[in-house]
Amino acid sequence: MSDDILLEVRGLRTVFDTRSGQVCAVDGVDVTVTRGECLGIVGESGSGKSVTFASVMGLVRSPGRIEAGEIVFDGTDLRKLSPRKMQALRGRDIAMTMQDALTALNPALTVGEQLAEMLEAHDDDLPRRRGARRAAIQARSVEMLTLVGIPSAGDRLRQYPHEFSGGMRQRIMIAIALASKPRLLIADEPTTALDVTIQAQVLELISKLRAELGMSVVLITHDLGVVAEHCDRVMVMYAGQVVEEGPTARVIRDPRHPYTRGLLASIPRPALRGQPIRPIDGQVPDLVDLPPQCRFLDRCPEAGEACRHLIDMHPAGPARRARCIRIAVPETEKA
Amino acid sequence: MTFTRFLERLLQLIPVLLGVSVIVFVMMALTPGDPVQIMIGDQIVTPEQEAQMRRDLGLDRPVVERFFVFLGNALQFDFGQSFYHRRPVAEVILERLPATIELTVVAMLIALFTAIPLGVLAAVRKNSIFDRIATVGGLLGVSLPGFWFGILLLMLFAVHLNLLPVAGRINYGISQGITPYTHFLLIDTLLNGRFDAFRNALAHIILPAITLGLPMTAILMRVTRTAMLEVLRADYVTFAQAKGLSRQRILWRHALKNALIPTVSVAAIETGSLLGGNMIIETVFGWPGLGRLVVESIFVRNYPLVQAAVLLYAVIYVMLNFFADILYTILNPRVKL
Amino acid sequence: MAAFVENRLAFGSAIVVVLFVLMAIFAPWIAPNDPYATNLFFRLQPPVWMEGGEWAYPLGADALGRCILSRIIYGARISIFIGAAVILVATTIGILAGLAAGYLRGWVDVVISRLVDILLGFPYLIFAIGLMAMMGPGLGNIILALAYKEWVIPCRVVRGETLVTRELEYVEAARALGASGRHIMLREILPNILSPVIVVATIRMAHVIILEASLSFLGLGVQPPTASWGAMVADGRAFILESWWVSTFPGLAILLLVLAINVASQGLRDAFDPRFTE
């Protein structure tokens, strides 16, 4: 079983030192990603979902820093890795795509150059000789662009990012991220910046490539609908903590945490046409000096006196956990 | 950028250059007093000679006609006679121009090659001691009067430490027997294989070039720092990091290429300060270039030369800005000229 | 304003600038000696802390035996007066031209913008030197020579800001209420774009002071025996072998004043517009 685990994060705590105090963006987060699976991470902006995976990549920017926790990737604790080894691992073993390809691709460099440098940095199989090396890089680049569905790839390598449409750019970013055949792809809001029709295409592409390349995918999104369609498991984050996790289908059918229920209720679903959309009242708490109580307390319709202390994750059925004291596990689902 | 775009942009220069020559012409036309009398000064001339001068200068014609004659002549690089040198103005200017170009180019290279790395370092190590020193240095650089700083450098390095020469481009004795292929001493000495002379020319140029380039260095450093800070926050830098690229490649290829875009524009504008600074710095360091010639010409009322030089400087400056625009579009593929 | 006072370095620099201004105004009461009194007996006398120096000439004397400190104090008058006059004239012209170009658009904008482009074609100092060569030296001519080109800078700032501001709702509202163009430009737009104009004016003042000193250094500025810092530095050039103080102190005065103005204006900029702060 443990052979199947690709990434295991335990007790991750990432803080930002600001003038108004220490902001704890990620507070005691555990994540497990098994080989070949697609894990969805859901949460509002500021829930810590992006910071969690920036921590995994070792890309937390000052004034942020990882304060505690273990990040084990394929048996190696990444936090104990030297910066040089971490750099070699980024891109080669764990790749990342960002929300908006327009800003993530360098406007002053051609697409070809941005692909080639990725191959240069990580592909040890490239021939040594200059001419052969260049030809191999060219061939691999064309292959990658074709893989993500960009026609006449050879010519387009010479173009700059702004010469492509939004959907094309997103595909190019994915092609770059996957150029070194990583084992884990972290896709941070891959569709937020796109039109609805293109969203579906890009997500299909990621699913297809996951199967073809046999990699694991972490899909960070604020859209539960996307998760429902593409992810095996889901983790819901709120105010720097995981509040619910489990197999996607069951979490969506029967959410155990009031926040997850709120999220589901706020999605306009064609199947539920006519029902009013209910946004969750209130706001995410200020992450400075949080009181020792349930973080969802102020917005929770079911909160009571018992919620005014620190809440742990509780088992909530097979392979499921939720951070709420009011979980009533149906007898039939008890393990 | 397409060739037609380039031509279009080139054509846009014409009204500017025309306007520049109108202003230079008006500058002269508005000179109080009779230019011929001023030029004659204390010299004794016959009325015939005086009338001849008047005809040579075209002063007997109407103003508009005089302008077109001036313009037509200027296009053929004919700026009349330099009475002081008793030779054509163009010839005198061409003789002095290489020294000025050499000094300006060296100053610009010093500015670019110190300001950009320092600006990058200051941005990367933001708020470090290094950044503070760079900030203070930048403020000092724009606040130092060049003529005074040059004198201080002379006092220290030439007079007290006796390390560097006080004035000129090269020692007369050493300069003998060097064939002037390009008239740029730093190049000619090397082409002649005369390394002693090269060292000597380098020792002469170093102080004036540093002094001349100082304000430009300070300004470019600040611009580079600000641009780098902006760029380092960009998503594409994070993405480049996520790709596992080396720090060096991210800094010098991904970040700097974008940060250079504003730097290039400012560098072009700041060349104006180099061209103007020439007059001062050449005077301080006894540099035998065009700038000093202009200043000297003002005092001997050699107006045709001053006029020609002002026009020449303006044309050079306009052209430099034009090339900077072209470079800007090359650096920034998003901009279509 | 509170933000400016909080920035101690900028505030201190502003005080230095004020001290220079006070020194210029009260020069006759502060200067220990008559700045024009020559006394060849004290020719090239060193400053007080060096051997041969004395308190009568705290910073020593120049080649004509004139008190360097007194001449520096009087020189502040020239630098500050010319700097302020040029900036005042140029900013006034620049505001009017920029408002007209940005608000009226059309041919007014074309003419003004063309003129700006042409003037930008000249390197600043060369333009000023050319004009001074033609007009001859003198206080009024320096102010003219520098202002002829200086107005372009506030003009561009004002034009750009006006282009943005004229589209704002309150300006539209004033127009809808039938306010005259003059009223809108001077009463509605101008007050709202004044802070960048002031910031630019202070930064430019430092620049103009250096330019004036440069012209005077070349002998194209204020004529002797009037005390001007640039000319004083030039006077000392012949004596850098032994009498370093003749050139050094007037240059130091320029540096101090210009540096103080630059630091203060940077603080002013940060206080006016927090966006600029990094």
DSSP code per residue over B233-253: TSHHHHHHHHTT--HHHIIII
Nearest by CB to residue C233, choosing from B20, B28, B148, is B148
Interface membership of B246 toward A (CB under 8 Å)? yes
> Which residues from B are below 8 Å from A64, CB to CB?
none
Is B313 near chain C, with CB under 8 Å? yes
Assigned domain for B110 exists: yes
Q: Tell the residue number behind the tokens 């859209």, with chain if given.
A: A223
Which of B34, B148, B321 to probe by mutation at the C interface, max C CB count within 10 Å?
A: B148
Same domain? B58 vs B115: no
Q: Is the dihedral of CA B6, B9, B15, B17 positive or negative?
A: negative
CA distance B3 to chain A (A): 19
E strand or H helix that includes residue B222? helix B195-232
Which whole number is the average pLDDT over B155-161?
Answer: 85
Asked whether residue B27 is domain-assigned, the answer is no
**Does one domain contain both A112 and A157?**
yes
- Determine whether the interchain pair B19/C129 forms a contact, defined as Cβ–Cβ distance below 8 Å: no
ipTM for the predicted complex? 0.88
A106/B contact by beta carbon, under 8 A: yes
- For residues C17, C19, C25, C29, the Cα torsion angle rounded to the nearest 10 degrees is -160
- B 132-171: CB under 8 A from C: 139-140, 142-149, 151-152, 154-155, 159
**φ, ψ of residue A58 in degrees (nearest 5):** 70, 35
The answer to whether the Cβ–Cβ distance between A98 and B238 falls below 8 Å is yes
- Please name which of B254, B239, B243 lies closest in space to residue A121, comparing C-alpha atoms: B243
Residue among A177, A264, A183, A187 nearest A220 (CA): A187
Question: Chain A neighbours among B 18-77 (CB < 8 Å)?
Answer: none
Query: Would you place residue B272 in the very low, low, confident or very high pLDDT band (cuts 50, 70, 90)?
Result: confident
Residue B24 lies in a domain: no
Contact (Cβ atoms closer than 8 angstroms) between residue B275 and residue B316: yes
**C156 exposed, middle or buried (CB, 10 Å; 0-12, 13-18, 19+)?**
buried
B120 and B47 co-located in one domain: no
Q: Are B40 and B153 contained in the same domain?
A: no
How far is it, in rounded angstroms, from Cα A263 to Cα A235? 13
Same domain, B243 and B213: yes
Alpha carbon distance A231, A218 (integer Å): 9
Across the B/C interface, how many CB contacts are shorter than 8 Å? Answer: 143
- Burial pattern A252-281, b for ≥16 Cβ within 10 A else e, equals beebbbbbbbbbbbeeeeeeeeeeeeeebe
Is B30 an 8 Å CB contact of chain C? yes
Find the helix or strand (DSSP H, E) in which C159 lies.
helix C152-165
Residue-number span of the structural domain to which B58 is assigned? 36-78
CB contact (8 A) between residue C121 and residue B317:
yes
Q: Is B317 on the interface with C (CB under 8 A)?
A: yes
Q: Which of B21, B46, B78 marks a domain boundary?
A: B78
Q: Does A292 share its domain with A199?
A: yes
pLDDT of residue B53: 75
CATH label of the domain that carries residue A307: 3.40.50.300
A100: in domain: no
Predicted confidence band of residue C252 (pLDDT cuts 50, 70, 90): very high
The three-state secondary structure class of A15 is: strand
Domain boundary among A181, A208, A242: A181
- Check whether C278 has a pLDDT greater than 70: no
Q: Give the model confidence (pLDDT) of B4-46 as tens digits.
A: 878 888 888 888 888 888 888 888 776 666 667 766 767 777 8
What pLDDT score was predicted for residue B337?
A: 42
Q: Is the pLDDT at C94 greater than 90, yes or no?
A: yes
DSSP A298: G
Tell me, rounded to whole angstroms, the distance of Cα B226 from its chain centroid.
25
Residues 6+ apart with CB under 8 A from B196: B174
B61 and B163 co-located in one domain: no
* Mean pLDDT computed over C13-30: 92
For chain A, which ranges sit under pLDDT 70?
1-3, 268-279, 328-335
Closest by Cβ to B279, choosing from C129, C254, C258? C129
**Residue among B239, B245, B254 minimizing CB distance to A98:** B239
A179 touches A144 (CB < 8 A): yes
Chain B residues in contact with A177 (beta carbon < 8 A): 242-243
What residues of chain B lie within 8 A of the CB of C114, using their CB?
A: 15, 19
3-state helix, strand, coil split of chain A in percent (to 5) is 40, 25, 40
Q: Are residues A242 and A161 in the same domain?
A: no
Looking at the fold, whether A76 and A210 belong to one and the same domain comes out as yes
Neighbours of B87 (CB within 10 A): 12
Would B336 be classed as within a structural domain? no
Is the pLDDT reported for residue B155 higher than 90? no
For residue A109, which residues of chain B lie inside 8 Å, CB to CB?
A: 253-254, 257
Backbone angles phi, psi at B91, to 5 degrees: -65, -45
B252 shares contact with chain A (CB less than 8 Å): no
Contact B273 C123 (CB under 8 A): yes
pLDDT score at C239: 85
Q: CA nearest A115 in B: which residue?
A: B243
Which of A321, A314, A322, A316 has its CA nearest to residue A296?
A: A322
Which of B231, B236, B256, B336 to mutate to test binding with chain A, by most A CBs within 10 Å of its CB? B236
* Structure tokens that stand for C243 in this block: 């009498």
What is the pLDDT, as a whole number, of residue C19? 95
CB distance A86 to A58 below 8 Å? yes
A108 touches chain B (CB under 8 A): yes
Residue B281 lies in a domain: yes
* A89's tokens: 């691992």
Query: pLDDT > 70: what percent of chain B?
Result: 95
Q: Which domain holds residue A48?
A: 2-93+184-333
* d(C-alpha A132, C-alpha A130), whole Å: 6
Going by pLDDT thresholds of 50, 70 and 90, the confidence category of residue C274 is: low
Q: Give C137-141 contacts, CB < 8 A, sequence gap 24+.
A: C137/C219, C137/C220, C137/C221, C137/C222, C137/C223, C138/C222, C138/C223, C139/C78, C139/C82, C139/C222
Half-sphere exposure in the Cβ direction for A260 (13 Å, CA): 27
Contacts of residue B237, Cβ cutoff 8 Å, sequence gap at least 6: B231, B250, B254, B255
Q: How many domains are contained in chain B?
A: 2
Chain C neighbours, 3+ Cβ pairs < 8 A: B
* pLDDT over threshold 50, residue C277: no
On whether any CB of chain A is under 8 Å from the CB of B254, the answer is yes
Asked whether residue B53 falls in the same domain as residue B158, the answer is no
Residue A16 lies in a domain: yes
With CB atoms and an 8 Å threshold, state whether B236 touches A105.
yes
> Of A122, A149, A181, at which residue does a domain stop?
A181
- Shortest alpha-carbon distance between residue B31 and chain C (Å): 5
Q: Which of B239, B245, B252 to mutate to test the interface with A (most CBs of A within 10 A)?
A: B239
CB distance A247 to A319 below 8 Å: yes
From chain B, the residues in CB contact with C241 under 8 A are 159
- Tally the domains of chain A: 2
Touch A-C: 3+ C-beta pairs under 8 A:
no
Return the pLDDT at B219: 92
| pLDDT, mean of residues B326-335 | 78
Same domain, A47 and A116: no
> At residue C134, does pLDDT exceed 60?
yes
Q: What mean pLDDT do residues B329-335 have?
A: 76
Q: What is the pLDDT of residue C97?
A: 94
CATH of residue B326's domain is 1.10.3720.10
- Residue C260: helix, strand or coil by DSSP? helix
pLDDT digits (tens, 9 = 90+) for A13-34: 999 988 778 888 898 899 999 9
Of A90, A103, A173, the CB nearest to B234: A103
Q: Cβ distance A295 to A239 under 8 Å?
A: yes
For residue B31, list chain C residues with Cβ-Cβ distance below 8 A. Answer: 134-135
The token duo for C60 is: 């020593």
Within this chain, do residues A204 and A258 fall inside the same structural domain, yes or no? yes
Least Cα separation, residue B178 to chain C (angstroms): 32
Cβ atoms of A186 and A31 closer than 8 Å:
no
Residue B337 in any domain: the answer is no
Q: Are residues A219 and A328 in the same domain?
A: yes
In sequence order, the 6+-apart residues with CB closer than 8 A to the CB of B33 are none
Q: Which residues 6+ apart lie within 8 Å of B291 measured at CB?
A: B100, B278, B279, B280, B281, B282, B283
Are the beta carbons of B145 and C210 separated by less than 8 Å? yes
Q: Taking 50 as the threshold, does the pLDDT of residue C33 lie above it?
A: yes
pLDDT-derived band at C2, boundaries 50, 70, 90:
low
Which residue does chain A place closest to B124, by CA atoms?
Answer: A62
Q: Are residues B118 and B258 in the same domain?
A: yes
B125 part of contact set with chain A, CB < 8 Å = no
Chain B contacts in chain A segment 74-103 (CB below 8 A): 87-92, 95-96, 98, 100, 103
Percent of all residues in chain C with a pLDDT value above 90, rounded to a whole number? 36
Looking at the fold, whether A219 and A303 belong to one and the same domain comes out as yes
Q: Is residue A99 part of a domain?
A: no
By the 8 A CB rule, do C142 and C132 touch? yes
- On whether residue A27 sits in a domain, the answer given is yes
Distance CA A285, CA A295 (A): 7
Inter-chain touch B235–A121, beta carbons under 8 Å: no
Are A111 and A87 contained in the same domain? no
How does strand A94-97 pair with strand A184-188? parallel
Residues B192-242 have pLDDT tens digits of: 888 888 888 888 899 999 999 999 999 999 999 999 998 998 999 999 999
Chain B residue numbers with beta carbons less than 8 Å from the beta carbon of C129 are 276, 279, 294-295, 298, 310
Cβ-defined contact of B240 to A88 (cutoff 8 Å): no
Q: How close are the terminal C-alpha atoms of chain A, in Å?
A: 18
Q: Please report whether residue A279 resides in a domain.
A: yes
Please identify, among A137, A154, A181, the residue that sits at the C-terminal boundary of a domain. Answer: A181
Q: What residues contact residue C6 under an 8 Å CB cut-off, 6+ apart?
A: none
Any idea which of A38-52, B54-68, C31-45 has the lowest mean pLDDT? Answer: B54-68
How does residue C276 score in pLDDT terms, banded at 50, 70 and 90? very low
For residue C122 the two structure tokens come to 């000249």
Closest CA to B178 of B156, B195, B158: B195
B299 interfacial to chain C (CB closer than 8 Å):
yes
Q: Is residue B317 part of a domain?
A: yes
The CA distance from C189 to C178, in Å, is 15
CA distance A327 to chain B (A): 39
Q: Are A28 and A12 in contact (CB under 8 A)?
A: yes
On the question of pLDDT at C231 being above 60, the answer is yes
Which element (helix H / strand E) includes A236?
strand A233-238
